[in-house]
């Protein structure tokens, strides 16, 4: 009896999760795409659902398309935009805090991710309120992935070093004012030593085995991992994404022929 109850409970939980899954149909002038939204990124999920239900995305275009990279849309200024109109800066008057669920969700082919402003003006990597992109990317060789891993580790070390330096900013400022070059050099060497020591004691593996397999067999954009929020993935219509990312574009990466979209929630 107890075993039957446990099995029934697990089945109920499984069915509930399946029913709770949110899918969105993106109808385009080149075919239909269905994306699944991740529950682990609730703010992005709920915002996307709100915009879809309000008709926000209807008649917008994929305004930025780069072959072997991604297709991007969601700029409200793209609705009925003139052929030469500059696009890419539009959106609602809010951003969404980053929701990195890494390495579980990464930039594999078909990933649905949020666009955002650059780190210079957006150090917390907050997402655009409406703009999104779907990853196409490319297939990488194992040696390319190895090289990229090295670059990722160096980025992590630089970030760690900069954080240590920020903690010493008053001391550094005083040394600069006193023109104490020897002191600055000693401090730099000490922070570099602390950085190397930390990473020697806490080795990092930028990509999981699953990621490496995915990037070397199916493709994607690994250099965007942990930089932009991935909040869903394509479950149907990946061939449509392939067609869109291959279209001819004009300067500014806008397709020569507008590719319009219309969205709706998928009713199970």
Residues with Cβ within 8 Å of 150's Cβ and at least 6 positions away in sequence, in order, are: none
pLDDT score for 244: 98
Q: For residue range 30-42, what is the model confidence (pLDDT) as tens digits?
A: 999 999 999 999 9
Q: How far apart are CA 218 and CA 245, in angstroms?
A: 16
pLDDT score for 8: 53
pLDDT score for 26: 98
Confidence of residue 7 (pLDDT cuts 50, 70, 90): very low
* Structural element, H or E, at residue 32: strand 31-37
Nearest CA among 104, 132, 88 for reference residue 225: 104
pLDDT score for 82: 95
Q: How far apart are CA 121 and CA 135, in angstroms?
A: 24
Across 36-62, average pLDDT:
98
Tokens for 192? Answer: 């570099």
Tokens for 173? Answer: 């400022």
Confidence of residue 14 (pLDDT cuts 50, 70, 90): very low
Confidence of residue 21 (pLDDT cuts 50, 70, 90): confident
The alpha carbons of the chain give a radius of gyration, in whole angstroms, of 23
pLDDT score for 267: 83
Tokens for 227? Answer: 């930089």
Q: How far apart are CA 260 and CA 35, in angstroms?
A: 17
What is the DSSP code (8-state) at residue 207?
S
Confidence of residue 189 (pLDDT cuts 50, 70, 90): very high
- % of residues, the chain, pLDDT over 90: 90
**Arithmetic mean of pLDDT over the chain:** 93
Across 147-172, average pLDDT:
94
């Amino acid at each position: 009896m107890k075993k039957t109850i446990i099995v029934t409970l697990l089945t109920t939980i499984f069915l509930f999760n399946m029913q709770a899954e949110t899918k969105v149909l993106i109808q385009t002038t080149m075919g239909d795409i269905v994306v699944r939204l991740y529950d682990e990124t609730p703010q992005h999920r709920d915002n996307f659902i709100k915009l879809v239900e309000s008709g926000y995305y209807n008649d917008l275009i994929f305004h930025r398309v780069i072959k072997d990279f991604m297709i991007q849309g969601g700029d409200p200024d793209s609705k009925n935009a003139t052929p030469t109109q500059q696009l890419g800066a539009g959106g609602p008057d809010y951003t969404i805090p980053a929701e990195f669920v890494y390495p579980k969700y990464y930039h594999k082919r078909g990933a649905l991710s949020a666009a955002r402003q650059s780190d210079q003006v957006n150090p917390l990597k907050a997402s655009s309120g409406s703009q999104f992109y779907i990853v196409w990317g490319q297939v990488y060789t194992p040696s390319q992935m190895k090289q990229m891993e090295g670059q990722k580790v160096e980025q992590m070390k630089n970030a760690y070093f900069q954080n240590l330096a920020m903690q010493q900013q008053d001391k550094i400022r005083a040394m600069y004012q006193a023109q104490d070059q020897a002191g600055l050099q000693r401090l730099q060497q000490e922070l570099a030593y602390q950085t190397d020591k930390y990473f020697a004691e806490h080795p990092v593996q930028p990509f999981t085995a699953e990621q490496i397999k995915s990037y070397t067999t199916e493709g994607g954009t690994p250099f965007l991992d942990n930089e932009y929020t991935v909040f869903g993935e394509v479950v149907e219509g990946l061939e449509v994404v392939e067609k869109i990312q291959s279209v001819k574009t004009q300067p500014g990466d806008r397709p020569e022929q507008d590719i319009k979209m219309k969205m709706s929630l998928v009713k199970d």
